[in-house]
Amino acid sequence: MRAAAIVLVVYGHTAGQLPASGFDEPAFLARDGVGLFFVLSGFLVGGITYRRLEARDGPIWSTVLDLWQRRWLRTLPNYYLFLLINIGLVYTGIRPGILNMNVAGFFVLVQNLIVPVDLFFGESWSLALEEWFYLLLPLLVVVFTWRRSFKWGFLLATVVLLVAPIVSRYHAGATLASPHLFDAFVGMIVVHRLDAIAWGVLAMWLMHHSPPPTLRARQLLFALGIVGLVTLFHAQDWHNVWFSANIYFLVSAICMALLLPLLVYFRRTGRWGHGVAFISRISFALYLVHLPVYYPYFKAVKDHSVAAYLGYWVVCIVLATIVHRTWELPFMRSRDRLSLLLLRTSGAHRPKVDNASRITPGSHPEAEDHDLLSPR
């Protein structure tokens, strides 16, 4: 699911460099690719959040801080590295964009909290959305479990993060002057899109508390999800703001969540298994790499052939692999030491849920923290 998502995102952003085809708007695929990332992120990271908060044996604040530090060390090193890279690319004229005082907002991830992301590093919008979601989710869980059971308090926190963005998106879409402004003023604003991740969290909660029914119905749910996505893809009309705001984002997220009960138990790897795992493992770095490479590569190549396009993919994959191994992994490996420090300071013991928190048995350790990429 993750590998398919990153392929859709990169292809949707770069297909214009291929010879003309009958598909006029490949950017639709990028939108669907990022939707897969959102739902999968909620399912995986939401599951980790649930199990670690439920299994805590010390102060809840130490577990919340540990969740945050693990999340931030997974995502922010890459984010700030590429923020600086993009500042340099725009400053030197290699990548288009505008550098102004609004760049300061990118350093605290408020660039698209309630206003459109500025004309710079536009792909960062979904990374900001993810960080805000995983900042808010544990806080809401603490509030809603104060005087009720953890199970139902966590569900209530999830429902709040589902309903509030749907309502805000409805009102934002109703006042939008032009459909051409939809993505910037609605589709890429944090407060209007938090529900995309919350659907994955809800899927996790339902599977956690009723695994037999979802397991028995997994083939049917998967089929319904695929049929729904195909139908929605052909029905989408981005000139219809009401449809986009109130139907497309909602139904697509639900259909993507329906894929999870089958995919989470999918164990066959086959001859392509290692390649799929590799692409999914470098997906975060690949997303951040592919647009900074896009501009200098095709400016230098000046070729719209399939061979040149495949060469672009090779360059992106090689660079993403280097970033993943030399930059991402060292920060990820430091998280356990900080976890022990936080838990020791609070007098708690390290919960025995780290391995169990990986929903798919035998999955790669890096699947513990999944990252959102962006369609922009």
| Residue positions counted in the chain | 376
Q: For the chain, how many structural domains are there in total?
A: 1
How confident is residue 349, by pLDDT bands cut at 50, 70 and 90? Answer: low
DSSP H helices, 182-248, are 182, 190-193, 195-209, 211-216, 218-235, 241-243
**Do the beta carbons of residue 128 and residue 83 sit within 8 Å?**
no
Residue 376 forms part of a structural domain: no
CB-count exposure of residue 71 (10 Å: 0-12, 13-18, 19+):
buried
Of the ranges 281-290, 315-324, 349-358, which one carries the lowest mean pLDDT score? 349-358
φ/ψ of 358, rounded to 5, equals -85, 110
**pTM value?**
0.89
In-domain check, residue 107: yes
Token couple for 86: 């993009």
For CA atoms 185, 187, 190, 195, the dihedral sign is positive
- 325 domain residue, yes or no: yes
- Which DSSP category does 180 fall into? G
In a domain, 37, yes or no: yes
What pLDDT shows up at residue 25?
A: 61
The reported pLDDT for the residue numbered 83 is: 98
374 within some domain = no
For the segment 208-267, what is each residue's pLDDT rounded down to a tens digit?
Answer: 998 888 888 999 999 999 999 999 988 888 889 999 999 999 999 999 999 999 998 877
Residue 375 lies in a domain: no
The distance from CA 230 to its chain's CA centroid, rounded to whole angstroms, is 21
Note the Cα 142 to chain centre separation in Å. 23
Q: Report the pLDDT value the prediction gives residue 167, as an integer from 0 to 100.
A: 96
- Domain membership flag for residue 176: yes
Q: Is there a domain that residue 307 lies in?
A: yes
Average the pLDDT over 171-177 and give the result: 89
pLDDT at 368: 46
Render pLDDT for 50-73 as a digit per residue (tens, 0 to 9). 999 998 888 889 999 999 999 999
Q: Which domain does 351 fall in, by range?
A: 2-368
Counting residues of the chain whose pLDDT is more than 70, the rounded percentage is: 89
In this predicted structure, the answer to whether residue 374 has a pLDDT above a threshold of 50 is: no
> What are the φ/ψ torsions at residue 118 (nearest 5 degrees)?
-70, 175
pLDDT tens digits along 136-146: 999 999 999 98
